[in-house]
Every structure is written in C-alpha cells, then in structure tokens.
Chain A
Amino acid sequence: MTQAVAIDHHEPIENTSTGLNSRKLMMWAFLGSDVMFFGAFIATYLVYRGKSLVGPYPSEILDIPLTTLSTFVLLMSSLAMVLALHYVKDGERNKGTLWILAVVVLGAIFMGFQFYEFREFGHLGLTPRTNIFGTTFFILTGIHGAHVTIGIIWMGFMAYSSHKGALRPDNALDLEIAGLYWHFVDIVWIVIFTVIYLISANDGPPPGMESMITH
C-alpha cells in the first residue's frame, strides 16, 4: 500500500487507471507537442546559422548584456511561479496572489525587453526581410514572445482568480498546469538564449564574404 500513497501528500489520489490526473497528463503531452514545435524552429535557425548574405550580422547587432538581463527576469519569473504554487497549495491566499502577480509583472518586463530589442534591431536595419538571420531570429523569438504573452494573460486570470478566492489548495492544480506552461516557455528561452545569443554572438558574414561588411 505504501506505493499507492501519492508522492505529493497535498494531492488526492486520482481516480484514474494510472493514478495520474488527466488534465496534468494532457498538459505534459501538450508540452511534448510544443517541444517539436519549437524544436523545428530552433533547428531551422541552426541550419541557417551563418548563412546570411548581407548584414547586419549577429556580431554587429546582438546586445548580450541586455539579453542577459531579460533572461534573468524570465528565470526569476519561473522562481516566482513555483513559489506562488507553493503558497497557493498551503492556503496562503495573499502570498499566493502576490507571487502570481510577480509572475505577470516579470513576464511583462520580459516582453518589454523584447519589444525594445525588436525596435532597436529595426533601427539598426535588421528586419525579417533583411537576411536569413533576421528571418529566423524574428520568427523564432516572436513565436516565443507570443507564447509568453499567452502565459501572461493566463497568469493574469490566475491572479484574479486567486484574489477572488476561487483558487484554493483543493484546485491548486489549475495553477500548477498553468505553471507547467510557464516553466516550459522559460526552458525554451534557456535554449534560445544559448543558441541564438551566446553561441551566435560572434557570427559574422559567411567565410569569404568578410570584405562585404558595410559599417
């Protein structure tokens, strides 16, 4: 019988064949689906890495300190998310609401960074039409930004729900599922930060085309 005791003692044993909650199982399956979605975009980026025929090239345009800051913000929003879930599960409604709001605010700051970055790149002459770097960069980060935006709306709804007292320990699963989505968006950014920003930060023109840089 000991095996049957749920791993997390806050949660009731589910009345299903596997003992797992159906909605949570579906969320994980959906995240598996989203892995393929982002995987295809990231693979496209990597295939086309360093194949831009005209500038601006990543080395001329990427602002690593700025992006480090926005990465840190998104990482901390994940921390806020997991703390919010903890407090909601413990029935500490006010703390829970505050931490959910923190997620919303941090997510909004991240989107602000992205908006600023897109504008800056536009001023520096990089658009999705400029070169293949612009194409792959804007579409990938834009799709990620759309995911974050959906997450912010979802979290805003959760904060409202928690504020009204409709989010309680017994239905904290609602928040947990939203949180899974949020964390997933965060890990996608971990990959994007590494492959687009850090790894590509020194990418210049393709070999043999250095002479064509226009400063």
Chain B
Amino acid sequence: MANLWQKLTHHKGNGWWNLPHTASNELNPPHEGPVGGAWLGNWWRFWTHGGVSHAGPKFYWLVGFILAVITALEVWAFALEGLGAWYIPILLILAVAKFIGVVAYFMHLRFDKPMFTWFFASSMVVGVLIFVALMFLMENAHTPVLF
C-alpha cells in the first residue's frame, strides 16, 4: 500500500509515459550529430526542447501544427461521409489526441510535477465514468431491458 501511495503522489523518473524525454533534470547533452550516439533522441530533443532542457517555442509551434493537422483530419473524416460505424470512434480518438496534446504540452502537465496530472486525471476519470453511465441509463430509459 505504501508503494502504491508513492506511485500516486511522488515524481519518479520523467513522468508517465516516456515520449519525449524530459531532460529538465539532466545536463544539456553533448550534440553528437546524426551519426554518433542516439541520434534520433537527440534530434527529437533538439526539436522539442530547442537544444536546452526546457521546451522552447519551436516545440510549441510543432505541437500547435500537429494539433491543427489533427483538426484538419477530423474535418476530413467528416467530409468523407463513408466511414459508417467507424466515424464516431475515429473522431473520438482524434479528439482525445488533441485533448492530450493541449493538456500535456501546452498546460505543461508533461513537464510538471505528477500531482497536477493526478488532480486533473482523477476528476476526468470520475467525470467520464459517471457521465458515460448516465448516458447508458438514459439510453435504455424507455426501452424495456430483458435480462
């Protein structure tokens, strides 16, 4: 139980998922060029953190661009009109991706202490659970369920 509590409240490592690497508590890495070392990681770090240990404008522009692209994809999915049963799941996945993009990077949850994430995520979990349950209840409200 104590271990679970620590996981709930303490910041260990870099956060909850490991993309991209938050280098804030590390020294600036030596730039090794595309050949030597973990070039992909360095390339990513350069773009995401402007070569320093904190996310920079370039990174934010990149996130903003990706969010705009996802929005375009959503509208494209709308314009296609042939997705049938896949339409709503696809839209929901894209919306969640945008949601996470803004929350994680623009709102800095990705770079911040995890307790903020827990605050927000726990209310999201409670909210999503009860409101989805509410929709199921109301969906079946006027149709007799044989069980």
Instruction: Determine the distance from Cα of A8 to Cα of B107 in the docked complex, in whole angstroms.
Output: 13
Closest A residue by C-beta to B107 = A183
Interface of B is mostly: helix
Whether, in the assembled complex, B51 has its beta carbon less than 8 Å from a beta carbon of chain A, the answer is no
Instruction: Determine the distance from Cα of A81 to Cα of B130 in the docked complex, in whole angstroms.
Output: 32
- Chain A residues with Cβ below 8 Å from B107 are 179-180, 183-184
Q: Given contacts A9-B53, A42-B131, A75-B71, are A194 and B95 in contact (CB under 8 A)? A: yes
A20 & B115 in contact (Cβ 8 Å cutoff): yes
A10 & B54 in contact (Cβ 8 Å cutoff): yes
Q: Given contacts A25-B119, A32-B120, A75-B68, are A82 and B60 in contact (CB under 8 A)? A: yes
Instruction: Determine the distance from Cα of A126 to Cα of B56 in the docked complex, in whole angstroms.
Output: 45
Instruction: Determine the distance from Cα of A186 to Cα of B95 in the docked complex, in whole angstroms.
Output: 12
- Chain B residues with Cβ below 8 Å from A194 are 74, 91-92, 94-95
Whether, in the assembled complex, B134 has its beta carbon less than 8 Å from a beta carbon of chain A, the answer is yes
Interface size class of A (residues with CB under 8 A): 35 or more
Instruction: Determine the distance from Cα of A3 to Cα of B92 in the docked complex, in whole angstroms.
Output: 37
Q: What is the size, in residues, of chain B's interface with A at 8 Å between Cβ atoms?
A: 54
B25 & A7 in contact (Cβ 8 Å cutoff): yes
Closest B residue by C-beta to A10 = B54
Interface readout for A15-39 with B: 1 if CB under 8 Å, 0 if not? 0001110001100110111011001
B95: contacting residue among A3, A36, A78, A191, CB under 8 A: A191
- Expressed in whole angstroms, the minimum distance between the Cβ of B99 and any Cβ of chain A is 5
Query: Which A residues fall within an 8 A CB radius of B?
Result: 2-3, 5, 7-10, 18-20, 24-25, 28-29, 31-33, 35-36, 39-40, 42-43, 46-47, 64-65, 68, 71-72, 75-76, 78-79, 81-83, 86, 176, 179-180, 183-184, 186-187, 190-191, 193-195, 198-199, 201
